[in-house]
Amino acid sequence: MKDDVKPGEFFVLNISNLEDGEVLLDSMDTIDEEERKLKRYELIEGDVVITCRGTVNKAAIFPRTSKKVIASANIIVIRLKKEVIPGYLKIFLESPVGARLVKSFQRGSTIMNINPGDIGEMEVPVPDLQLQNQIAQEYMNNFSIYKETIKAATENWTKVRNSLYDKLLD
C-alpha cells in the first residue's frame, strides 16, 4: 500500500516501473519490513510480470538484479516451468491474441481488474523450446535495434532543436 512506502531494504515493483515491456529498476519505491515476511514474495530473474489493475495491460520479464524486489498488489507474477521460456510468454501476452485473451479475464470495463487465478488457467500455445527460443531471440534482437534507433533519433532531434533555438538568439 502507498502508506507502507518508506526507506527500506525491499524495493516494490509497481505499474509505473513497467515501460515499453521492460522493468525500470531505478525508479522503484522501498518498504521497511522484516525480510522473513517478504522473502517468499521476492522476484527472481525470469519471472514474467503482468499488470492486473489499472488502465493499460503491461508485461515484462524481471531482469537480473542485486536488489531485493517484491511486486505490488497491482502486478501478477508468473514463475514458469522449464517447458515455457519467459521471453516467449511475454511476446504471447503482448500479441493481439494474447492481449485479447488477457482482456477476456478482465473484470470491470474502465479500470481493469484481473484475478491471478484466471491468468493461471489461461491456455497458451506452447511450441517446442527451439521455436520459443527463436521467436524470443528475434524479438529481443529487433527490440534492441528499435531502442537504439529511437535513442539516436531523439538525440538528433534534441541537437537540431537546440541549434534552432540558438539561432533565435543571434
**How many degrees, rounded to 5, is the angle at CA 43 between CA 37 and CA 44?**
130
Inter-residue contact 90 to 30 (CB < 8 Å):
no
**Tens-digit pLDDT profile for residues 112-129:** 677 777 778 788 889 999
The per-residue pLDDT for 74 is: 86
110 band by pLDDT with thresholds 50, 70 and 90: low
Q: In angstroms, rounded to a whole number, what is the distance separating the alpha carbons of residues 159 and 161?
A: 6
The per-residue pLDDT for 136 is: 94
Share above pLDDT 70 across residues of the chain, in percent, rounded to a whole number? 94
DSSP string, 35-94: HHHHGGGB--TT-EEEE-EESS--EEEPPP-SSEEEE-TTEEEE---TTS-HHHHHHHHH
C-alpha cell at 98: 494474447
Helix, strand, coil percent content, the chain, rounded in steps of 5: 50, 20, 30
C-alpha cell at 13: 515493483
Between 29 and 119, the more confident residue is 29
